[in-house]
Chains A and B, each alone.
Chain A
Amino acid sequence: MRPASLRSVYPGPGGFDPKELKREFPIFANNPGLVFLDSGASAQKPRSVIDRVSNYYSTDYANVHRGVYRLSARSTELFEEAREKMRAFLNAADPREIVFIRGATEGINLIAQSWGATFLKAGDEVLISDLEHHSNIVPWQLLRDRIGIRLVVAPIDATGGLDLAAFETLLSRRTRLVAMTHLANATGALVPIETVTRLAHRHGAKVVVDGCQAAPRLDVDVQALDCDFYVFSGHKTYGPTGIGVLYARYDLLSAMPPWQGGGEMILNVTFEKSEFQDPPHRFEAGTPDISGAIGLGTAIDFIEELGRDNILEHEEALTGYGVDRLSRISGLRLVEAGQRRLGILSFDLAGVHPHDLAQVLDQHQVAVRAGHHCAQPLVEKLGLAATTRASLGVYNDEGDIDRLAEALEAAREMFLR
């Protein structure tokens, strides 16, 4: 059984001790010596999440929103409880503003195809930034090719952060939507979303926030951010794969047409026409990922139990330690991440290609990502073809950073001697 309170069992300086916390993640017991620094791609799962998914299938499983029988009612209740947990996690005003989706990618595609295709017209501008992941670029290009919107890109400044002044000058009456990352996955640059939404709203534009990297690290409050849409992926937030969350203001959701048709999302179907459900069900065609949603609910419980302030404090402290430790390695350049870097250390080691580097690090049991991190335009703008990226999670400690640094020194020795 899982302890009633992780914080009381594992008290540490930041409210929890990451070294002790590793015990809550079975992957570490099954892979002794593993230094996992790729949580930005996908986070490891706590035992509570793994057990919850398994127990749900063993004890409570049935399809939702359909059966008259008690098991189906119980399953529906658990699924809707998970929705309420997502509402609380994002501090949304209403659980009907939470749509379960496969992941952030699907969420952005949903917004583009439903809201975008309905409310945008040729010549309207969608403003993104240099910092975006491909999943916040390509859906807008597809929409552009379909209906003729213009895609405008706000640049980064010399420090690698969003250039707010340039962003502001790109806003105009034509700007109908701003779609921006909260925390850049390739570099760890934190974007001041409150300022972005304030400026965007002043010009009448709606704001979509890609919260993939922020949701596991920051106390996200969609009402305080004042954004119109917010998406994140469950698997990066210590939850299962295949589930994610789209938050959208209810008035926007209720004006949006369905983007996929099928069961679950209808009120009445004849061969002539169909009537659709109200949000959020209108956007959840077919049998949803019920176990994923319930498992993500347990992941959110886990995060809340650790304390989101504690997690942020931990990520900030470890990011600072990582910056110090890696900066001492000769020839290593940390990729610029603006005024505030969080949870992600992207770097270039002179003379050693990231793929060779990641290979040597793997030999030292250090798992990092090498490549363009699905942010090819940004990495190329930084003058690189690829970078090596270490991204942090709640289970990482200073010892992991030390092991990374030692492995980097070994790689230098191998390739540059």
Chain B
Amino acid sequence: MMDLRELYQDIILDHGRHPRNFRKIEHPTHSAQGHNPLCGDRVTIYVTLDGDRIADVSFQGRGCAISTAAASLMTEVLKGKTTAEARALFAQFRAKATGGEPAPDLPEPLAEEMERLEPLTGVKAYPARVKCATLSWHALEAALKGSRETVKTE
């Protein structure tokens, strides 16, 4: 069995305990909810776009350490990125977290941001937990698409 500390690395425990950007944006240009019916976890993502650039992004909700840390790290890496860059990061992150088909390589600055997300990709050894790591990203994707439906993992 894999050492559990590879799943719960210090950075995940830290972001799980002290999530960054854990707040509501009063007048976001985009927002969406994510729900994992299996565990009852809920997350709301708030985004303020300035043109095509993410000027501010935050989240609120309740979830496990993995899903909280994933949302927290996501908001950190996305601030200042374009929506296209956000989608490219998600494609790469999803591929690594699920152990699926590799996504196209990222250009240098984004590759560095991807490295910050690497600790979360330990979930691929725990199939039941992959959804915890990707829930906030799915909600973000829905927010950017302007979807009003709650995104469900099931």
Genuine A/B complex: yes
Interface residues of A, Cβ cutoff 8 Å to B: 351-356, 359-360, 363, 370-372, 376, 379, 385-386, 414-415
CA–CA, A353 and B1, complex, Å:
22
**9 additional contacts (CB under 8 A) given A359-B129, A379-B40, A385-B41:** A353-B65, A356-B8, A356-B65, A360-B4, A372-B39, A372-B40, A385-B62, A414-B8, A414-B13
**Given the contacts A355-B132, A415-B16, A415-B17, A385 and B40 also touching, CB distance less than 8 Å:** yes
Given the complex, which residues of A lie within 8 Å of B25, measured CB to CB? Answer: none
Q: Taking the nearest CB of chain A, how far is it from the CB of B108, in angstroms?
A: 34
Residue from A355, A359, A370, A372 in contact with B4 in the complex, judged by beta carbons closer than 8 Å: A359
Q: How far is the CA of A379 from the CA of B66 in the complex (A)?
A: 22
- Residues in B with CB closer than 8 Å to A371 are 38-40
Complex contacts, B91 vs chain A, CB 8 Å: none
16 residue pairs A–B, Cβ–Cβ below 8 Å: A353-B63, A353-B65, A355-B39, A355-B129, A355-B132, A356-B8, A359-B129, A371-B38, A371-B40, A372-B40, A385-B39, A385-B41, A385-B42, A414-B8, A414-B13, A415-B13
A354 near B66 (CB under 8 angstroms)?
no
Q: Does B7 contact A (CB under 8 A)?
A: yes
> What distance in Å separates the Cβ of B63 from its nearest Cβ neighbour in chain A?
7
Measured CB to CB, the nearest residue on chain B to A414 is B8
**A211 vs B62: C-alpha distance in the bound complex, in angstroms?**
33
- CB-based closest 5 A-B pairs: A385-B40, A353-B64, A355-B64, A363-B4, A356-B65
Chain A residues with Cβ under 8 A from B1's Cβ? 363
B146 to chain A, nearest CB (A): 28
CB distance from B96 to the nearest CB of A (A): 20
Contact with A along B51-65 (1 / 0, CB 8 A): 000000000001111
Select from chain B the residue with minimum beta-carbon distance to A353.
Answer: B64
How close is A150's CB to chain B, nearest CB, in angstroms?
26
Nearest-CB distance from B71 to chain A (Å)? 13
Q: Chain B residues near A356 (CB, 8 Å)?
A: 8, 16, 64-66
The docked-state distance in angstroms from the alpha carbon of A356 to that of B64 is: 6
Complex CA distance for A372 and B42, rounded to whole angstroms = 14
* Most interface-central of A360, A363, A370 (chain B CB within 10 A): A363
Residue in B closest to A364 when the chains form the complex, CB atoms? B4
Question: Chain A residues with Cβ under 8 A from B38's Cβ?
Answer: 371
Contacts of A359 in B (CB 8 A): 4, 7, 126, 129
Flag if A386 contacts B40 (CB, 8 Å): yes
Question: Is A354 in contact with B39, judged by CB distance below 8 angstroms?
Answer: yes
> B39's contact among A351, A370, A414, A415, by CB below 8 Å, is which?
A370
Distance between A328 CB and nearest chain B CB, rounded to angstroms: 24
Interface residues of B in 1-35 (CB under 8 A from A): 1, 4, 7-8, 13, 16-17
Chain B nearest Cβ from A374, distance in angstroms = 11
Q: Which residues of A contact B65 (CB under 8 A)?
A: 352-353, 356, 415
Contacts of A379 in B (CB 8 A): 40
| A371 smallest CB distance to B (angstroms) | 6
Q: In whole Å, how far is A238's beta carbon from the nearest beta carbon of chain B?
A: 26
- Set of chain B residues within 8 Å of A370, measured between Cβ atoms: 39
Residues of B within 8 A of A354 (CB): 39, 64
Question: Which residues of the partner chain A approach B8 to less than 8 Å between Cβ atoms?
Answer: 356, 414
Chain A residues lying within 8 Å of B66, measured Cβ to Cβ, are 355-356
- Contact across chains for B39 and A386 when beta carbons are under 8 A apart: yes
Chain B nearest CB: distance from A33 CB in Å? Answer: 12
Interface members, chain B 31-85 (any A CB < 8 Å) = 38-42, 62-66
Residues of chain B within 8 A (CB-CB) of A415 are 13, 16-17, 65
Query: Looking at A352, A355, A359, which has the most chain B CB atoms within 10 Å of its CB?
Result: A355
Min Cβ gap A168→B in Å is 32
Nearest-Cβ distance from residue B16 to partner chain A, whole angstroms: 7
Q: Which residues of A contact B40 (CB under 8 A)?
A: 371-372, 376, 379, 385-386
A386 partner residues in chain B, CB cutoff 8 A:
39-40
On chain A, the residues within 8 Å of B132 by CB distance are 355
* Residue of chain A at shortest CB distance from B13: A415
CB distance from A251 to the nearest CB of B (A): 41
Interchain CA distance A351-B17 in the complex, whole Å: 8
Residues of A contacting B63 in the complex (Cβ-Cβ under 8 angstroms): 353
Chain B's nearest CB lies how many Å from the CB of A380?
Answer: 8
Residue of B17, B41, B42, B64 contacting most chain A CB atoms (<10 Å): B64
Q: Which residue of A lies closest to B36 (CB)?
A: A355
Q: Which residues of B contact A360 (CB under 8 A)?
A: 4
Q: Min CB distance, A381 to chain B, in Å?
A: 13
Closest A residue to B1 by CB, please name it.
A363
Q: Beta-carbon contacts of B126-150 to A below 8 Å, as 1s and 0s?
A: 1001001000000000000000000
Q: Give Cα A371–Cα B38 distance, bound, in whole angstroms.
A: 7
Interface centre among A352, A356, A379, A386 (most CB of B within 10 A): A356
Instruction: For the complex, give the distance between the alpha carbons of A252 and B13 in Å.
Output: 58
A354 to B64, CA, bound (A): 7
A352, B17: Cα distance in complex, Å: 9
Encode contact with A along B114-134: 1 for CB under 8 Å, 0 otherwise.
000000000000100100100
Give the CA-CA distance A363 to B39 in the complex, in Å: 19
